[in-house]
Structure 1
Amino acid sequence: MECADNSMAEEPMSPAGRGMEEMGICIVLVMGLGTPVNLPVFRAGIETELVTSLPRFCCIPVMDESAKDGNPRWVQTAVNVDDHIVIPRLDAAAVASDPEKAVEDYVASLSLLPMDMCRPLWEFHFLDFPTSEAASTVVLRLHHSIGDGTSITTLLVAASRSMVNPARLPAMPPPPKRTGAIYQLPPRPPLSSGDYLALFAWVWSCFVLAWHTLVDMTLIVATILFLSDPPTLFTRPRDGGESRCRKRFVHRTFSFDDVKLIKTAMNCTINDVLVGVTSAALSQYYFRESGESNTKIIALRSCVLVDARPVSTRQTYVTRVETGNQLTGLICPFNITLKDDPLEYVHEAKRFMNRKKKSLAVMFTRVIGEFLVKNFGLKTGTFIFHRFLTRTTIIFSNAIGPAEHMTLCGHPVAFMAPSIYGQPQALTVHYHNYGSDIKVVLAVDDEQFQDCHQLLGDFVESIRIMKNAAALKMLTTSIHN
């Protein structure tokens, strides 16, 4: 079939997309279905809904010999949907004895299989047997150069229907109170008002913004040149850090209401809670596995992925289907330490994140990255980006999913668990909300984290402990009032 939208018959690949292609980073989205797979119905949905909605599902990257450095371009091509559907033959005994592990092993094997660059860079894998969470499983694997988490999520939601009301699209979470960029300054008071205190406050906020931006950009440059996190259990060994390792993807579900309870008790954001949970879980795992003194404090850093799109009505993104990669990142410090009060992890995360919101580093990181790729070539830009990633400990991402369950290609979706592979870190942490649940998804180097399910359990336990502490805090506050 031909792509219905011919507006992108040929288009240069964005600097971010070229970097993703060079590093070989791919997205893996595991979706549990509420029913067994009806392959003809699902195939028809892929052809009529997904392929026609996103032009890059009909394109292949082609090197442009006329351009400097032979930069790739997206070139439209005919799509045979059957070429993108995979039905693996798994060992029946292994599936019967442990279906969850059979799915997990199969998805892990995909991280070592290269994608066919001669056809559009996406494929669906169907595992038609029940697990504890779903009646069947479908795995969408696609190259990260096609788009980021937001664009892929909006594609799937735009091609879906609400399970509550099939006549409409699934509802997205309400937009946050903030509608501008995270670094947005307060409006400058008019000079004629005579309120010099307000004017001084505005000037001071500009100074703080400039100072924090300078400090953050200096740290980023230092990271690229020489500054690196100390080696820990979470760091890929340097002697084998450049080889492609098999990734294992594990996930666990917990209640979004528990996260909201902690958020309310701490007067912070959802992201602050999740960063705090990550720090608490990694701390529990580290001191249990290493046997080191629990009074030790290890300062590490995470690369937090940030969607550079303006914050507005998320349903608008769904109806128009965002495309491409519009990601940037920031370095967020976190400590490996054991705290008596579990809510202190959230308080510390809130302090770190509030500090990052008073900086233009998020914007400058993306602009400078694109400048390097455009003016110094893909190899240089990718080399610098790779060094930036290898000198931090983990990648952290919090993706926004639909606020209610949906049906995709005629099948109810029980859960969604997105992640990536191809990144140099040994550990990547993704959070993704879907309906009233939130998934924590870990992508780990298979050999290095053979006990990854214990690490996953530390995330769930950290949420449980924080929820109880938050409930007690709110009860105590209510009694005192």
Structure 2
Amino acid sequence: MEIKIRRRRGYIAETTVEKEVEEEEQPLSPAARLFHAPEFNCYIISVVGLKKKIQPDVIIEGIKQTLIRHPRFSSKLVNNRKEQKWVRTNVVVEDHVIIPKIETKIIKNANADAFLESYVSDLTTIPLDTSKPLWEVHLLDLKTSDAENVVVLRVHHSLGDGMSMMSLVLACTRKTSNPNELPSLPYQNRPSSGSSSLKTSSRYYSRFFWLVTVLWTATMLVLNTVCDALEFIATTLFLKDTETPIKGNFGLSTRKRMCMVHRTVSLDDIKLIKKAMKMTVNDVVLGVSQAGLSQYLKRRYDEKKKAGEQEESKRNSSNILKGIRLRGALLVNIRPTTGIQDLADMMAKGSKCRWGNWIGYIVFPFSIALCDDPLEHLRRAKSTIDRKKNSLEAVLTFVVGKILLKSLGVQRAAYVLNRALSNTTMSFSNLVGPIEEISFYGHTVTYMAPSVYGHPHALTMHFQSYMNKLTISLTVDPTVISDPHKLCDDWEESLRSIKAAVQERSSTQ
């Protein structure tokens, strides 16, 4: 009996050792390998504004207690001949926290924002050191127009997608009203009318009508998915967007310096429009973006004309805009909802929440036009997004990406995906943030502006909500879009005109 017990204990010990080895070394997932390919070497960067001066020791100690407990933030990339692996290593947090010396007397408030933009732009040209975990935090003692100090977090996209990264950062924050509580995200109403409509159908309509409705919905889902799949194939092979002043010519070019700017607007204005038009926040943001892009392109085309041809210029610009094919790659999170608590547990005791890159793409056609009625942009955006919701395009692109990686290998799969995205114009994403004020290791947050670079687009638009504000982050190729602040102005002006149209419509009704 004693021998059996000893053997069982030995078996447990061997199993524990095997598990420790597995945890110490893990091969890169296909998606992580893709993000290390030269054609698709992507980084996630987030600028966070704080309400008070940074205390570096406090933030460093906080990172030691939370962030580095996550496996990806405590593992370095090891390239072997056969495979790439994540290997656990001892992390020296001080090596990842960068505190640049800034002559605050020289940099006045007037050009502090420009200094921040230049600093972040320089970071886009510097690769992370692969001899240590692929992340870094920059603490800037810099007073800008909308923050007392600034934190810049930069991580390699192979560590995870934007949704998981943002959730992980939020797991490191706490409510300012209660420092022991994690942030609360707004409750996302999923359409629950389906079950009630089925009950209503069985109650008031015949079973035949209910069956026809279900068959029609399923048929449209299949047809839309097939059409979207054919468009994706055509985009990869030959279907290109119109060459406009905001479309870059990346192809397989080397890394370019990117410029990142942000603008904060009232989320209450978005919600006012949403309620009046019976839409979602995403519908409104897409509609305003269509209007802003239309105004920006009109100005760029008008600038090419001579001052003496104003009337002709107006007519030509209108005709040119009508014929534009401009599509954006909308990033869609396809994983089951991961709570902030799950990620907090992961850093504390190893939660099994689904980490990594679980994103699909939707090729979204932006309607570029000069509309007499500003609300027309909202209607067109809602019509398109409703059609896209009744499709499995996001899941399909995710699955196809995995199949390409397994069948063609990383280099060829990266070439195919790079080509597909290069034939579109821009990237677009929208992230939901906390509904109350939060603090980052004791430092109250004023705004969060996340973005990504390294993919073949000259324009990337990210939207991040926080409390009652919405921050617009534009990452642009300055050789293509040299005036990103004007695009922010056009977006704001479009929001104001749409809000005014909604208020006028409400008062009339």
Instruction: Please indicate, yes or no, whether the TM-score normalized by the shorter chain is above 0.5.
Output: yes
Instruction: Pick one of 328, 331, 334 that aligns with 1:308.
Output: 334
1:399 is the counterpart of 2:439: no
Structure 2: distance between partners of 1:366 and 1:178? 24
Instruction: Pick one of 353, 361, 381 that aligns with 1:329.
Output: 361
Instruction: Pick one of 276, 282, 301 that aligns with 1:290.
Output: 301
For residue 237 of structure 1, report the CA deviation from its aligned partner. 3.5
- Which residue does 1:34 correspond to in 2? 51
C-alpha distance after superposition, 1:182-233 (max 9, x if no partner) = x99x97999xx96111101111111111111111000001111111101001
Change (3 A) 1:34 1:337: same
Change (3 A) 1:230 1:407: same
For residue 63 of structure 1, report the CA deviation from its aligned partner. 2.9
Asked if structure 2 preserves the Cα contact closer than 8 Å seen for 1:157 and 1:318, the reply is no
Structure 2: distance between partners of 1:88 and 1:47? 20
1:73 is the counterpart of 2:85: yes
- Which residue does 2:393 correspond to in 1? 361
Matches within 5 A, 1:15-414: 15-22=30-37, 23-52=40-69, 54-66=70-82, 70=83, 72-90=84-102, 92=104, 95-96=107-108, 98-178=111-191, 195-237=207-249, 242-291=253-302, 293-296=316-319, 297=322, 298-310=324-336, 312=337, 314-315=339-340, 319-320=344-345, 323-414=355-446
Structure 2: distance between partners of 1:421 and 1:135? 26
C-alpha distance after superposition, 1:309-347 (max 9, x if no partner) = 23x585555555652111111101012211111111111
Structure 2: distance between partners of 1:7 and 1:46? 25
Structure 2: distance between partners of 1:453 and 1:132? 15
Amino acid at match of 2:149: S
Instruction: Pick one of 461, 464, 486 that aligns with 1:432.
Output: 464
Asked if structure 2 preserves the Cα contact closer than 8 Å seen for 1:150 and 1:400, the reply is no
Amino acid at match of 2:30: P
Amino acid at match of 1:382: A
Structure 1: distance between partners of 2:21 and 2:502? 53
Name the SS for the 1:197 alignment partner: helix
Name the SS for the 1:145 alignment partner: helix
For residue 458 of structure 1, report the CA deviation from its aligned partner. 0.8
- Which residue does 1:12 correspond to in 2? 27
Structure 2: distance between partners of 1:94 and 1:419? 29
Asked if structure 2 preserves the Cα contact closer than 8 Å seen for 1:245 and 1:445, the reply is yes
- CA RMSD after TM alignment: 2.4
Aligned residue pair count: 461
Structure 1: distance between partners of 2:42 and 2:207? 52
Gaps of 5+ in 2: 1-19, 303-312, 347-352
C-alpha distance after superposition, 1:30-72 (max 9, x if no partner) = 01111101111111011112212x2100012223544xxx3x2
Asked if structure 2 preserves the Cα contact closer than 8 Å seen for 1:234 and 1:426, the reply is yes
For residue 295 of structure 1, report the CA deviation from its aligned partner. 2.3
For residue 177 of structure 1, report the CA deviation from its aligned partner. 2.5
Structure 2: distance between partners of 1:8 and 1:475? 62
Compare 155-164 and 91-100 and name the one that shifted more: 91-100
User: What TM-score results when the alignment is normalised by the length of structure 1?
Assistant: 0.91
Structure 1: distance between partners of 2:180 and 2:130? 37
For residue 6 of structure 1, report the CA deviation from its aligned partner. 8.6
C-alpha distance after superposition, 1:326-373 (max 9, x if no partner) = 111110101221111111111101011011111112111101101111
C-alpha distance after superposition, 1:391-432 (max 9, x if no partner) = 100000001111112111221111100011111110000000
Structure 2: distance between partners of 1:120 and 1:315? 23
Amino acid at match of 2:318: T
Amino acid at match of 1:410: G
Compare 315-324 and 93-102 and name the one that shifted more: 315-324
For residue 21 of structure 1, report the CA deviation from its aligned partner. 2.0
For residue 25 of structure 1, report the CA deviation from its aligned partner. 0.4
C-alpha distance after superposition, 1:424-456 (max 9, x if no partner) = 110000000011101010001122222111111
Structure 2: distance between partners of 1:154 and 1:179? 25
Matches within 5 A, 1:467-478: 467-477=499-509
Structure 2: distance between partners of 1:326 and 1:58? 21
Name the SS for the 2:68 alignment partner: helix
Name the SS for the 1:233 alignment partner: coil
Asked if structure 2 preserves the Cα contact closer than 8 Å seen for 1:305 and 1:328, the reply is yes
Name the SS for the 2:433 alignment partner: coil
Structure 2: distance between partners of 1:138 and 1:419? 14
Structure 2: distance between partners of 1:176 and 1:55? 32
- Which structure is larger by alpha-carbon Rg, 1 or 2? 2
Amino acid at match of 1:309: R
For residue 139 of structure 1, report the CA deviation from its aligned partner. 0.3
Structure 1: distance between partners of 2:278 and 2:21? 48
Change (3 A) 1:334 1:269: same
Amino acid at match of 1:284: Q
Asked if structure 1 preserves the Cα contact closer than 8 Å seen for 2:170 and 2:340, the reply is no
Structure 1: distance between partners of 2:239 and 2:374? 30
User: What TM-score results when the alignment is normalised by the length of structure 2?
Assistant: 0.86
Structure 2: distance between partners of 1:236 and 1:94? 35
